[in-house]
C-alpha cells in the first residue's frame, strides 16, 4: 500500500515527518510559503525527494469551506482550507481506503491518503469530510453556535457576530452544540469564565455597533475577506495554468 500524505506547516515545524512514514507527500503552495523558520526549511529540503507542491482545485476548496461553515468553524485560514481541499482531491483522484494509519489496513487498496497536522480545529473538519489523520485522532460531530453571554440570545449561521442585536453588548461567545429531534443542545466548558475581547479600529476601542468606527471596522474586514477570496481564485488559476 502506498501512503500519501497532505502535509501541514505544523508537521514540518514540530518534526512529525520524522516519526510518520509516508511514500509521497503533497503540500499546498500557501502552506509551503508559511514555513519560514530555519528548522522547517531544513526539513522541507530533507524530504524534497518525495514532496510535491500542489494547489487544490477550486471546487474542492468550495466543498471544504462550505462544510467548515456548516459546522461553525468560521476561522479556518486559507492554508487550512487548502489542506482540507487537497486531501479531498487526492482521495477522489486515487484509489483509497478511508481509514486511519493507526487502524486496520486493507491491503487490497493501492493508496491511503492522510493529512499530517497538529491543528485541532482543522482535524475536526478533516474527519467530518472523511479525511484520515496520521495519529488516529477521533471526535464526535460537533457544531458551534454564537451565544450572547449577557442575555443568552443564540445566533446560528456562519456570519461573525460582534454585538448582540437584543441587548447590544459585545459579549458574544462560540459554544459547542449538538442537534437531535428535541432541538439544539449547548455544551458549556466547566468553570467557563467570559473574557470579552474589545474590538479596536486604528487604536480606538469600539463598544457598540452604532459607533461610526464600527462601520469603518466592518467595511475594512469585508474588504479583507474579498481580497483574500480574490487572491485564492488568482492563485488557483495560476496553479491550473502551470499544470
What mean pLDDT is reported for the chain?
80
* CA 190 – CA 178 distance, rounded (Å): 17
User: Residue 69: which of 164, 120, 144 has the closest Cα?
Assistant: 144
Q: What is the pTM of this model?
A: 0.57
**Helix (H) or strand (E) run with residue 111 in it:** strand 111-116
What letters, b where the CB count within 10 A reaches 16 and e where it falls short, cover 10-38?
bbbbbebbeebebeebbbbbbbbebbeee
Per-residue pLDDT for 136 more than 70?
Answer: no
Cell 493508496 -> residue: 111
Per-residue pLDDT for 12 more than 80?
Answer: yes
Q: What is the pLDDT of residues 182-199, one digit of tens each?
A: 667 787 776 777 777 788
Beta-carbon count within 10 A of 73 CB: 22
Q: What is the pLDDT of residues 28-48, one digit of tens each?
A: 999 999 898 888 899 999 999
| Mean pLDDT (whole number) for 127-135 | 81
In 3-state terms, what secondary structure has residue 159? Answer: coil
Q: What is the pLDDT of residues 76-119, one digit of tens each?
A: 889 999 999 999 999 988 865 443 333 444 445 567 888 998 87
| CATH T-level assignment (fold) for domain 2-140 | Rossmann fold (3.40.50)
pLDDT score of 211: 87
Amino acid at each position: 500500500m502506498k501512503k500519501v500524505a497532505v502535509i501541514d506547516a505544523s508537521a514540518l515545524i514540530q518534526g512529525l515527518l520524522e516519526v510518520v512514514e509516508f511514500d509521497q507527500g503533497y503540500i499546498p503552495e500557501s502552506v509551503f510559503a508559511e514555513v519560514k523558520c530555519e528548522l522547517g526549511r531544513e526539513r522541507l529540503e530533507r524530504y524534497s525527494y518525495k514532496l510535491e507542491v500542489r494547489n487544490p482545485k477550486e471546487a474542492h476548496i468550495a466543498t471544504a469551506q462550505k462544510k467548515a461553515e456548516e459546522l461553525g468553524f468560521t476561522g479556518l485560514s486559507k492554508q487550512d482550507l487548502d489542506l482540507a481541499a487537497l486531501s479531498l482531491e487526492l482521495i477522489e483522484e486515487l484509489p483509497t481506503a478511508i481509514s486511519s494509519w493507526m487502524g486496520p489496513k486493507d491491503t487490497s487498496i493501492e493508496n491511503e491518503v492522510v493529512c499530517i497536522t497538529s491543528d485541532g480545529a482543522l482535524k475536526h473538519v478533516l474527519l467530518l469530510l472523511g479525511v484520515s489523520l496520521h495519529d488516529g485522532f477521533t471526535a464526535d460531530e460537533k457544531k458551534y453556535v454564537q451565544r450572547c453571554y449577557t442575555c443568552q440570545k443564540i445566533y446560528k449561521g456562519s456570519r461573525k457576530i460582534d454585538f448582540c442585536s437584543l441587548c447590544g453588548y459585545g459579549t458574544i461567545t462560540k459554544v459547542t452544540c449538538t442537534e437531535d429531534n428535541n432541538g439544539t443542545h449547548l455544551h458549556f466548558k466547566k468553570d467557563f469564565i467570559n473574557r470579552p475581547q474589545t474590538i479596536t479600529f486604528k487604536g480606538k476601542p469600539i463598544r457598540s455597533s452604532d459607533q461610526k468606527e464600527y462601520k469603518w471596522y466592518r467595511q475594512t474586514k469585508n474588504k479583507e475577506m474579498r481580497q483574500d477570496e480574490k487572491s485564492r481564485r488568482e492563485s488557483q488559476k495560476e496553479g491550473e495554468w502551470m499544470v
